[in-house]
Homo-oligomer: A and B are copies of this chain.
Amino acid sequence: MPKVGMEPIRRKELIAAAIEAIHARGSLDITIRDIAARAGVSQGLAHHYFGSKDRLIVASMRFLLSQFSKQVRLGLIPAAKPRERLSAIVSASLGEEQFRPEVVSAWLVFYVHAQKSTDARQLLSVYTRRLRSNLVHCLKPLVGERASFVAEGIAALIDGIYIRHALGGDALHFRDGHRLVEDYIDQQLGFAQADSVASASA
Contact = CB atoms under 8 A, between A and B. Distances in A.
A156 B167 contact: no
B26 A112 contact: yes
Contacts of A169: 125, 128-129
Contacts of A168: 115, 121
Given A159-B164, A160-B156, A163-B160, A180 B113 contact: no
A27 B28 CA distance: 10
A184 interface: yes
B112 A108 contact: yes
Interface in A105-140: 105, 108-109, 111-116, 121, 124-125, 128-129, 132
A163 B111 contact: yes
A156 B164 contact: yes
A180 B149 CA distance: 8
Given A111-B163, A116-B25, A129-B170, A197 B156 contact: no
B164 A155 contact: yes
B167 A163 contact: no
A152 interface: yes
A192 interface: yes
Contact of A163 (B159, B176, B188): B159
30 contacts: A26-B115, A27-B113, A27-B115, A108-B111, A108-B115, A111-B112, A111-B163, A111-B166, A111-B167, A114-B167, A115-B168, A121-B168, A128-B169, A132-B170, A145-B198, A146-B197, A146-B198, A149-B180, A149-B197, A152-B164, A152-B171, A152-B176, A153-B157, A153-B180, A153-B184, A156-B177, A158-B160, A160-B163, A163-B163, A187-B187
What 3 pairs across the A-B complex have the smallest Cβ distances?
A160-B160, A156-B160, A26-B115
